[in-house]
Amino acid sequence: MMRKKTLSLIATFTLVTASSVFAQAKKEVPDQKVTAAPAKAAEPEPEEKKWYEAVDFSGFVDVYYMYNNNPLQGNAIDATHAFETSNKNFGVNAAALAIQKTAEKGSPWGFRVDFQNGQNNAYQEAPYTTSNQVYNYNMLKQAYVSMYFPVLKGMTLDIGKMATHIGYEVLESMNNPNYTIGAIFQNTIPFIHTGARLTTQFTDKWAGTFYLYNSGGGTGYTSPTPGNLTSTTTNSFFESSNEHKAVGTQLKGTLIEDKLSLTWNTLYSSDGFASGYTGVVDPSQMLVANYLETGSVNGAGTVLPTGQRMKYNKDYWFMNHAILSITPTDRIQIDLDYTWSEKSGAMANANLAQQQYNSANVYTAETVLGGQVNTSHNKSSYQSYGVFSKFKITETWGVNVRIEYLNDKANNGQLNTFSILHGPNASSGDPTYTSVNGGNGYLGAYQQQINTALAEAIKASNPIFAGLTDNQILAAIDPKNYKNYSGAAANYGQYRTFTVTPVWNFTENLLIKLDLRRDWATGYQFIDIHGDKRKDQLGLTLGVVAKF
């Protein structure tokens, strides 16, 4: 009996020990399905974006109908507007395609090219006449390459052909508050340059740009004469007549977040765009030349000294331009625009005394002492003031308002570039109006004959008037119809515009604007559709732009 108990105890001990051993072995080698996570698969390397996938395509088709209450119609050019020049007609303002790859940190190279066709091409580059259609009807408006540098918040260098940085308005009507280009942008600012610009983002709120252009006057073309078109020595496309480059700057930033911002632009040039290589002739050299040839300082000699090369510090055009943008609410924006510009030496307009009393700019002791010649001290200047307001009524509708004033009292002549309406338009010999009314001006032939007979009778009755022309006499007795408001002596100008533009965002891609515009200036510089002189011009322009 005792033996059986002993064997039973040994068997029990053996089973307990074995159970304990197996239990410990299970703890040391845990069940993989319960406690161990599956091995993580290696993630694939991110695929680098192809450069062509970063290229953006955009463009627009811009059409309009314009009606101004002046006699211009048919194929006559209505130069009271910058780009919309076909009065009482429908027109294709522009059709454009832009291709761009932005230079950025992840891909530090880029480019932009803008192709454009349309009726306004001829007026975007000098000499701003229809002759440009020979060259740029299929226009390369912009074309530049870009490089990005990781400096401060980012630095970008663009080199090529680009739109100007001066001015509030831009070349594309869809990007302006109003449809038509205003008088300030039309008359005071170049449109396109070739050169380079370096833009640096200093902080999240402020950026600066340095510009180096071929010319302050902008891009342009020579007259398409047979000689120019077949020349093997000169290019039809030109910007500058000398080696001087135009230098510009821009400072742009936020003064109060979402409320107040500032843009300040400058441009300084001495490139001889309008006057060639030479500066103003030295009057003392001219007097010596006259004396050596004629024996008198009052004799107008034929051997004329050549003007010295233009000097960067004397023959210049200096522009300062500022925009203060005020946003009191998310539905109202008011932009205040100011330009001050000075021209000096060969770049300045001739002084008024020279224009009035010495139109041939003859250098004699009498004209020099009388201040009736041009010198290196000639200066002309102007200021422009603009208010551009945008009022957002709904997500679809809005109203924009533009007010402009060109102060050209010190410009030695009118600043407004159009000359169609402000001349002595009653004169039958005025070639300005040949294409409009057979060279007979806007007064009927019968009335002109009556007026001419009156002028002749006045001269015959009083010998002191014998040296005057018929127009000079008629301008005194009938200034409304005969006064020459383009005459430099009176310096008529002071051009103003007021434009109200309802805006309808028909869809995200279709924009409709209706400009209701009034232009006016000193004196009777306009003519209505009936041929009567007016102090203002009224008009409307309906613009429709499809964009993508």
Specify which residues 88 forms β-bridges with: none
The neighbour count for residue 308, using CB atoms within 10 Å, is 17
Cβ contacts of residue 244 below 8 Å, gap of 6+?
A: 269, 270, 271, 272, 310, 312
* Helical spans, DSSP H, in 234-326: 283-294
Q: What's the pLDDT tens digit per position in 76-97?
A: 888 888 899 999 999 999 999 9
Which residue do the tokens 């102007």 mark? Answer: 382
Q: Report the C-alpha gap between 287 and 297 in whole angstroms.
A: 5
Q: If DSSP states are collapsed to H, E and C, what string results for 72-112?
A: CCCCCECCCCCCCCECCEEEEEEEEEEEEECCCCCCCEEEE
Q: What's the pLDDT tens digit per position in 484-533?
A: 666 555 567 789 999 999 999 999 999 999 999 999 988 777 888 877 77
pLDDT at residue 167 in the model: 95
Q: Report the C-alpha gap between 418 and 78 in whole angstroms.
A: 9
The more confidently predicted of residues 382 and 479 is 382
User: In angstroms, how far is CA 411 from the centroid of its own chain?
Assistant: 20
Cβ contacts of residue 293 below 8 Å, gap of 6+?
A: 299, 301, 302, 303
Dump the DSSP string for 495-506: -EEEEEEEEEEE
pLDDT at residue 378 in the model: 87
Q: What's the pLDDT tens digit per position in 53-64?
A: 899 999 999 999
Does residue 47 carry a pLDDT above 70?
no
Q: Report the C-alpha gap between 429 and 386 in whole angstroms.
A: 37
Q: Give the pLDDT mean for 333-362.
A: 87
The more confidently predicted of residues 336 and 72 is 336
Which residue do the tokens 């005194």 mark? Answer: 476
pLDDT at residue 20 in the model: 42
- Helix-then-strand count for the chain, H and E: 12, 20
Q: What's the pLDDT tens digit per position in 139-184?
A: 899 999 999 999 999 999 999 999 999 999 999 999 999 999 999 9
